[in-house]
Chains A and B, each alone.
Chain A
């Protein structure tokens, strides 16, 4: 299968790669670019551990052909921190113990970040709806919801951390 040129931006950095068209976005992120924060899980759009953002939208990178990200801006969990400082949602996850084994964390963070961008005043119900596409098999949902609520409440305004 012939490789073709793929140009995309990941976490603000431009990449030019040669990939076969059947290469999945998650494979490009992990294996070609080497950012392994994004995980591979069910690979059937069910579990959400591979969640990244494309042009600000949360999507599941296990079920998108990398060539479909041509010219687009991809953000992975590594792209959340700014100038060496954790993003508010990351800080909140740490403070509220919003992970147990940690396998869902990268995907959870990306989903939370994406829906908080859309709805910074999310209610508990809306937060639970917002992470519906992400499974935490340790069932640590309550602490995740508490972390997001703390961000909504303003406990982690960027200038304060």
Chain B
């Protein structure tokens, strides 16, 4: 049962930020609420004030510029991202991830920023966007700042945001030349939550060697995990099966999974190994054909 709360519907970003400043210790933001209402109904989250930003059109946008890349406003729905021609052309991995996220109904109402702010470590978007070097722009009545998404998650469902801050924008820089990114999750039902997911971004030099790499794991710890030892294995090397095996093993050693009803810790490490091999190969092949 959902506990009682006072419902606030601000008409502008400014108004949201002043409400957050007034009620910071006892309020929550709702937009699509596709994660929030579930935990509220389960009684896991109780709040005195609920600030509804769903109607804020000023935060519903997807823009792109060659220098700064994509900027996606906080009330932009998953479906807007999924169906954006601009994103399809310049950041196809995001469209692929969105298509396998929950269901059309959830993507129609839920937002990309809300998904990221919820901080569920089994999410698909956070690891993918960390591989893409995305940043979160957060604001309070005192001003705004950007936080690299990689540094955004501080614990289980915990983020680097202060209580009076709101995510206003997700920023994705333009891809470095020669870079491709891939993400895949393992689950038993398509579009279900990831039992484990792996995102890989590979940047190739002209000669075909790996210049930069990012490997990011989903549901392999209490936050998304950047598997830096797998990245070290890849950088400077050319693609071989042995290299992929080594990278997979390195990623599995960086993982810190738990056992639960979906999978044991051991099985999760195995999945990290397999998916890292697959995703690095996929990103590598795509980067080689750019």
Contacts and interface: CB of A to CB of B under 8 A. Distances in A.
B286 interface: no
Contacts of B54: 68
Contacts of B108: 57-59
A52 B191 CA distance: 20
B52 A45 contact: no
A21 B103 contact: no
Contact of A68 (B38, B52, B103, B106): B52
Contacts of A88: none
Interface in B98-112: 99, 102-106, 108-109
A22 B38 contact: no
A54 B79 CA distance: 14
Nearest to A115: B104
Interface residues of B, number: 27
A98 B41 CA distance: 32
A63 B38 contact: yes
B157 interface: no
B38 A44 contact: yes
Nearest to B106: A45
A44 B39 CA distance: 9
| Majority secondary structure of chain A interface residues (helix, strand, loop or mixed) | mixed
Interface string B22-41: 00000000100110011001
B160 interface: no
B2 interface: yes
A149 to B, nearest CB: 18
Contacts of A39: none
B102 to A, nearest CB: 7
B105 A51 contact: yes
A109 interface: no
A78 interface: no
Interface in B238-283: none
Contacts of A60: 103, 105-106, 109
Interface of B: 2-7, 9, 30, 33-34, 37-38, 41, 50, 52, 54, 79, 99, 102-106, 108-109, 190-191
Q: Shortest 3 CB-CB distances between A and B: which pairs?
A: A133-B103, A21-B7, A1-B4
16 contacts: A20-B4, A21-B5, A22-B2, A22-B4, A24-B37, A44-B38, A48-B103, A57-B108, A58-B108, A60-B103, A63-B37, A64-B33, A68-B33, A68-B52, A115-B104, A132-B104
